[in-house]
Structure 1
């Protein structure tokens, strides 16, 4: 398996473990792709249990982790629609090993100073989508290692803006900013079986090889299960595709009937609310997901490959924003580790597969050629009609 393939698999595994911790109390989004390179840069610099845990989280042998990080960052930096950067800031009184410095991209390392410098880097790298570094520098911070990731795409087939008023469920009676689209390609929709019942996934294709999968399960299905199905969809076998639905059949969010059209060509109609999700995460709250349990214990030297001075991960955080509109999708992620000591009358009656996302659902943004999951999240609150 090529280095980039193992790196993508490792990053997706982080996302998969992370979404398993999500509950349905509110909207949330995560990006394993934003965390994974930082873990990969630290794994070979750690020792003992720290090294073992980081290596397991990365999914590559420690000696191959840096090559994996470099390959993933290069993919993100050279793919149209994507942008990525790595940043590192070192306290003036901390000496880091040249061997570790050289594992980072050229021009990455700067001097750690005021918070404003780090915040300005975030604004520059995300084109203003995010405003500040997700962790705060204090007098104990000796080293900050950060990644920034931006994804932007426009839909191959745009949606029409309108209104959506759910008739049941948690959004019942709300006037939501609706998005509506009709397409002839019914196989953009598929149903997958999960332990919590069927999950319907609609793939919304974007330009530059970036897609967003929208996933909805039964009303009682846990958000984590629905999102896991969305993350796993490309490698899973669907129980049914959109073209296999017959009139009268249903699935989560799906009804099938006949409607008016200009001909008898079957079609897929999709309606959902416009949404923006913003999230902030303390990664140490789920330290085992990222292999950060031991390396965040500051009782002894955890990163001898970074510096002779005893270092550990004192803080780890991620901020993310993601927006889905009629024209496209955009997301920005910053992750940081802080080391411390019409017109003609219709005449046809086509079969009509209709997907209505009128209650909480999940989304997974993915780089189509590599399969890298860029961001995944749960939409518990949708945009209201203005």
Structure 2
């Protein structure tokens, strides 16, 4: 399908946004205001960037000719103009000259003026990211309640079990039998420590102090290299322009340490060959949405390793409590990391393939 050239703007047309449209420039979604003829009267900055054209060049472009299904699009505009619906949503593709078609979720709504229709286009990969974020946040809240309830149910009988074992030990005369009561006490203590770790993120509010993320990363890399002194390389790729932000330094160290230590443990076979590598990369991300809230600036910390990757069946569950792919693991490291980062209004996401696993930590800056 050919893309029509934009028509020359009429002499009286305004090519700069008026006060009614200026707010659209602050949105990350693609916004166009069209007339009943489907020609663009205004395009916001996000649409300019997606199309690679200025709003001056987009003005007058027949937007219906740039949709995968122009007939349905024109009908939707007519229905919006007639007041047949308040808003119409559907998925289609936005055709762009010299670029691949962009899958978008389209929302069509009547504008403030009778001859105006507002077209909002959300790239489907962005929509999928929002849905994934919502799912991770909802799962974390559910896990938090589960852990708190489970810990409460375990602690009370555990204390009684330990106390009964100690009383029984005092009554026993045979030293060999006392070994069994000691096993009960030791295992009860081990379970108590596990419960305490599960409850750690919820026992107190995070501190608020100025944190330098690179100091956190440097501290973590020293700890990990001390634990794995041979065969592991840690590459630091920092953006020095990232400002300090308010947070709990100790909890952030623990969160990053849990991620990096997990990566190091997965790299043990590569360490024997001397090829194990973990990269700590920091960047500034702009116009990021976290928990449906827009942030102008955010810290993006990537922990990248060249290990075997996470099994596909485990990838969606890596942040679940007590889920682990290691024989001697507790399944709490990444759960705690996610909890600590979410206490900073952030999120941890994971992508993995054989030879390349990335944990992305995103935290708003201010």
Q: Which has the higher strand share?
A: 1
Same-fold status (TM-score > 0.5): no
Q: Which has the higher helix share?
A: 2
Q: Which has the higher contact order (CA 8 A, sep 6+)?
A: 1
Structure having the higher Rg: 2
TM-score, normalization by structure 1: 0.27
TM-score, normalization by structure 2: 0.28
